Amino acid sequence: MSLTVEPPILPAGNPDREVNCEVALEAAFASLVTTSVSQGWTPRETAATLLKLATDHALQLGTEEGKLPEG
Domain carrying residue 69 = 42-71
pLDDT for the residue 67? 65
Q: How many domains does the chain have?
A: 2
**What is the pTM for the complete model shown?**
0.78
The answer on pLDDT for 2 being more than 70 is no
What pLDDT, in 10s, does the model give residues 19-70? 999 999 999 999 999 999 999 999 999 999 999 999 999 999 887 766 655 6
On whether both 8 and 22 belong to a single domain, the answer is yes
What is the per-residue DSSP string for 18-54?
HHHHHHHHHHHHHHHHHHHHHTT--HHHHHHHHHHHH
| Integer Cα distance of 37 and 28 in angstroms | 14
Buried b (16+ CB within 10 A) or exposed e, 23-36: ebeeeeeeebeeeb
Question: What dihedral angle (degrees, nearest 10) is formed by the CA atoms of 42, 48, 50, 53?
Answer: -140
On whether both 49 and 34 belong to a single domain, the answer is no
pLDDT for the residue 25? 97
On whether both 12 and 22 belong to a single domain, the answer is yes
On whether both 36 and 2 belong to a single domain, the answer is yes
